[in-house]
Amino acid sequence: MKIRLIGKNLEELSRVTLELGLPKFTARQMASWLYVKKVRTIDEMTNLSKAARAALNGKYEVGVQSPLTVMQSSDGTRKYLFPVRCAHSRELNWSSSRDEGLEEAAIEAVMIPDGDRATLCVSSQSGCRMNCRFCMTGRQGFHGNLSAADIISQFIAIDESDQLTNTVFMGMGEPLDNYDNVMRAIEILTADWGFGWSPKRITLSTIGVIPALKRYLDQTRCNLAVSLHNPIPAERLSMMPAEKAFPVRDVLALIRQYDFSGQRRVSFEYTMFAGFNDDKAHADALWRLLKGLECRINLIRFHKIPDFPYESSSQVVMENFRDRLNRLGITTTIRASRGEDILAACGLLAGEHAAKTEQR
């Protein structure tokens, strides 16, 4: 099986040229073909000599993975299902390896159009270790980390690749649990030899994996979104087991050490469950937890999943919750619900695919 070029950074592409005896400048040419022109085959790299392309084809391939299925919502949202082969150990970085011996799985990416914006919600793992009770991805267990190749492939393989303006690492998996490969993907997205995106076009969503979160805040200028969902620790723990290892108060203590008054933003994701976290007491506790921090709260309608006891809060309750927080001085908005008719909540489509595969 050939080694994928997609997902390699400039230094790794330089090592490929050295290995094959190609001119050093070939690395930048390959990077341009991979990440700017977004070719699917080595033979399309026409400013490389025929001998260079033949040498590359002997051992390497571009490695963009086409989607298995595409679903389109009535609101224009599109959901893609991709096959992947991923490493089950989070300590292993497979971005430069062959795919031999890796676990086969399926992951999702969701493209969300909004006026002149097109945002890709990208996955970083197959399944997830965090086991949040309200998350379909977490219910599937952990199947493996995605390589940088599989992450970047999601940006290139979708039909809207050239129209993308933003991305959120908010798909399947906890991005900071696959730190090295996510950071490699961010490097490719922001480098001048890569996609050339501004860091402000990228947001990473996390439950708050503290050691990796500190590295992310130190090493990037990208935006941060924290999955909070309940300001009361015991109640948050009942929904999010990671609260035990990474208490939200410790996450907040770390975040307060950084400046979010400039271009980099921090926001807090708050899924609202009727009768659980949506009353005045929770709004006030949320304000006390976040007061003084330059941030935004995004209130999220809950998309119902099987065998889960809670429903989404009503529109009136959400509006009252939003208005109280805004009066208290924290900018709060209700996120528009997108793609519900195509199971846009991450994990639903991949779960169905896994179930069908097991039945064969």
Q: Is 309 left (phi over 0), alpha (psi -120 to 50) or beta?
A: alpha
Active-site residue (options: 86, 135, 295, 346): 346
Contact of 268 with 226, CB cutoff 8 Å: yes
DSSP 87: B
Contact of 17 with 24, CB cutoff 8 Å: yes
Element (H, E) at 242: helix 242-245
In the annotation, is 128 catalytic? no
Active-site residue (options: 86, 108, 243, 295): 108
Element (H, E) at 328: helix 315-328
Which of 69, 62, 98 has its CA nearest to residue 83?
Answer: 69
Separation between Cα atoms, residue 36 and residue 34, nearest integer Å: 6
Contact of 4 with 60, CB cutoff 8 Å: yes
Q: What's the burial of 328, exposed, middle or buried (CB within 10 Å: 0-12/13-18/19+)?
A: middle
**Reduced 3-state DSSP string for 248-275:** HHHHHHHHCCCCCCCCCCEEEEEEEECC
Contact of 159 with 298, CB cutoff 8 Å: no
The SS3 call for residue 61 is strand
User: What is the full DSSP assignment across 184-231?
Assistant: HHHHHHHSTTTT---GGGEEEEES--HHHHHHHHHH---EEEEE---S
In the annotation, is 108 catalytic? yes
How far from the centroid of its chain's Cα atoms is residue 313's Cα?
26
Cα–Cα distance list, 226 to 80, 205, 253, 269 (Å): 24, 6, 13, 6
Return the active site residues.
108, 346
